[in-house]
Structure 1
Amino acid sequence: MLGVVAAALGGPEVLQVTELPEPEAGPGQVLVRIRAVCVHPADIAATTGEIPRGPVPPPFSPGWDIAGEVASVGSGTAEFAVGDRVVGMIPWYLTRGNPGGYAEFVAADVDWLVPLPDELDFVSAATVPLNAQTAHQGMSLVSLAMLPAGSSILVTGASGGVGGFAAQLALQGGFRVVAQASDGDEQWVRDLGVHEVVSRSVDLAKVGPVAAVFDAVPVGEAAAAIVEDRGIVVATRPTPPLVPDRGVRQELQLIRHDRELLADLVGQVAAGRLCTRVAVTMPLTEAADAHRRVLAGGLHGKLVLTVG
């Protein structure tokens, strides 16, 4: 089968399309014929070695979020059958690229996967697992702060994958949502139903105060500075402590796979209760160019690699 591996640590040029042995489904696994795999900033960070727990020694395969069809079923696996449509997240923080999703086939643990509703296509489905789960788990931390009903929350990066889902989930949670959007992306964010949209170019010091921040970019101190005393900031990457701390609770949200949660979120996207968007698709064989496009910025939505 064809796969893409990082042959060294570095920029997009380290990604190589190569022939790999086709994996076999072991006990408790299914072999997934990949139809779509999302390109995330985490994939780019893996190739440069800038990830938690330190760099992964090459060669390895990037790729977290996959959507496709069951090609074969391992022994003792009754949950899926050949031909079933599935979507899931490879817990890359555990597999460290063995396997990764940049391949024609992946032997996946059934716990990584959920059924893919017919209403949702492979490409759109591949944008959901990492982004939506991170957003939901981060919003759960905000909810634990027991803020008064109708409290204001600033969501940075609301035109991005995690931030877009976070803004929508904050609305579901009853928050007054102030959403920061990239320049030129304000209308898409406004259409999510948020209460106020601010451009990325706006000085955040003029926004707020707010009771909470979901810092999906993250921008760090500039966003946290507008949180009320004893409020909460949830960031998707480590940020410096506030000085003075003002009793503000700071939380770091790193993804952890939750199959039941993923099934619910995929169902919400399929039913139209949550929105996602795809900027462009590219063939798996153009993974290096795909990384270059993501690094260049300016995409209005996710970039998804397609297979077959």
Structure 2
Amino acid sequence: MLGVVAAALGGPEVLQVTELPEPEAGPGQVVVRIRAVCVHPADVAATTGEIPLGPDVPPFSPGWDIAGEVTSVGPGPAELEVGDRVAGMIPWYTTRGVPGGYAEFVAADTDWLVRLPDALDFVSAATVPLNAQTAHQGLSLVSLAMLPAGSSILITGASGGVGGFATQLAVRGGYRVLAQAAHDDERWVRELGAHEVVPRSADLSTVGPVAAVFDAVPLGEAAAAAVEDRGVVVVTRPTPGFVPARGVRQELQLIRLDRELLAELVGQVATGELRTRVADTMPLTEAADAHRRVLAGGLRGKIVLTAG
């Protein structure tokens, strides 16, 4: 089968299309024929060495979010069957790319996967797991701050994958949402339900003050300037240099796979309760070019690699 591996750490040029052994399903696993795999900034960060990988890698395969069809089932009791359409998240924080999703077939634990509703296509489904779960779990940290209904929350990066889901979920959660949009992407953010759209160029110290910030970019100190005294800032990756002041605290949200939550979120995208968007699809063999486009920025939606 074809797969894409990072043979070394570096830029997109380290990604190589190569022949890999076809995987076999072990106990509690299925083999998934990959129809779509999302390209995330985290995939780019892994290849450039921004994500610690351990002493035995590279080589490794990027790819967290997959969608496809079950082609074989491992020995023992099985929750999934051959032919099932599935979507899921490879917990890359533990697999470190062995396996990763940039391949034609992947042996996946059944706990990583949920059945895909017929109403949802593979490409759209592949944009959901990492982004939507991160948004939901990050907003749970905001909820733990015991904010009263109607409290204002600022979401940075609302044009992006995590920020877009966070905007929708926060509106549904009863917050008054101020959403920061990328240039010329204000319409999309308004369509997600934001009560107020904040330009990307805005000085966030002049916004609010808000009870909480979901800093999906993250911006760090610049985002914290918008929060009220003793407010909370949720970030999606560490922000060096953050200095607590005015009683403001920072909460770090790192993704954790929650199969029940994933099934719920995938179902909500299938019914149209939640929206996602795809900037472009590209063949798996063009993964290096996809990484170049992510690095260049300016995308409106996710790039999804397709196979099969």
Deviations, residues 5-38 of structure 1 (Å, cap 9, x unaligned) = 0011000000000000000011110000000000
Match of residue 249 from structure 1? 249
Match of residue 169 from structure 1? 169
Instruction: Tell me if structure 2 keeps the 8 A contact 1:155–1:216.
Output: yes
Match of residue 298 from structure 2? 298
Q: CA RMSD in A?
A: 1.2
Match of residue 120 from structure 1? 120
| Mapping of residues 32-47 of structure 1, within 5 Å | 32-47=32-47
Match of residue 186 from structure 1? 186
Match of residue 133 from structure 1? 133
Would the alpha carbon gap of residues 233 and 265 (structure 1) be closer, same or farther in structure 2, given more than 3 Å must change? same
Q: 1:77 Cα shift?
A: 3.6
Q: 1:110 Cα shift?
A: 0.2
Match of residue 142 from structure 1? 142
The whole-number CA distance in structure 1 between the counterparts of 2:205 and 2:227 is 10
Match of residue 283 from structure 2? 283
Match of residue 274 from structure 2? 274
Instruction: Tell me if structure 2 keeps the 8 A contact 1:7–1:60.
Output: yes
Deviation larger for 45-54 or 73-82? 45-54
Instruction: Tell me if structure 1 keeps the 8 A contact 2:220–2:242.
Output: no
Q: 1:259 Cα shift?
A: 0.4
The whole-number CA distance in structure 2 between the counterparts of 1:29 and 1:52 is 26
Would the alpha carbon gap of residues 289 and 243 (structure 1) be closer, same or farther in structure 2, given more than 3 Å must change? closer
Q: 1:249 Cα shift?
A: 2.1
Structure 2 unaligned blocks of 5 or more: none
Q: 1:54 Cα shift?
A: 5.9
Q: 1:55 Cα shift?
A: 7.7
Deviations, residues 224-259 of structure 1 (Å, cap 9, x unaligned) = 011111111000011246545211121000101000
Instruction: Tell me if structure 2 keeps the 8 A contact 1:13–1:288.
Output: yes
Deviation larger for 166-175 or 46-55? 46-55
Match of residue 25 from structure 1? 25
Aligned length: 308
The whole-number CA distance in structure 2 between the counterparts of 1:209 and 1:252 is 21
Would the alpha carbon gap of residues 21 and 248 (structure 1) be closer, same or farther in structure 2, given more than 3 Å must change? same
Q: Which amino acid aligns with 1:18?
A: T
Q: Does 1:261 align with 2:261?
A: yes
Q: Which amino acid aligns with 1:110?
A: T
Match of residue 213 from structure 1? 213
Q: 1:88 Cα shift?
A: 0.2
Instruction: Tell me if structure 1 keeps the 8 A contact 2:53–2:96.
Output: no
Match of residue 237 from structure 1? 237
The whole-number CA distance in structure 2 between the counterparts of 1:305 and 1:244 is 40
Q: Which amino acid aligns with 2:152?
A: S
Instruction: Tell me if structure 2 keeps the 8 A contact 1:39–1:63.
Output: yes
| TM value normalised by structure 1 | 0.98
Q: 1:203 Cα shift?
A: 1.5
The whole-number CA distance in structure 2 between the counterparts of 1:284 and 1:135 is 27
Q: Secondary structure at the match of 1:34?
A: strand
Q: Which amino acid aligns with 1:294?
A: V
Would the alpha carbon gap of residues 55 and 147 (structure 1) be closer, same or farther in structure 2, given more than 3 Å must change? farther
Q: Which amino acid aligns with 1:229?
A: D
| Mapping of residues 4-153 of structure 1, within 5 Å | 4-52=4-52, 57-153=57-153
Q: Secondary structure at the match of 1:10?
A: coil
Match of residue 2 from structure 2? 2
Q: Percent identity?
A: 84
Structure 1 unaligned blocks of 5 or more: none
| TM value normalised by structure 2 | 0.98
Instruction: Tell me if structure 2 keeps the 8 A contact 1:56–1:96.
Output: no
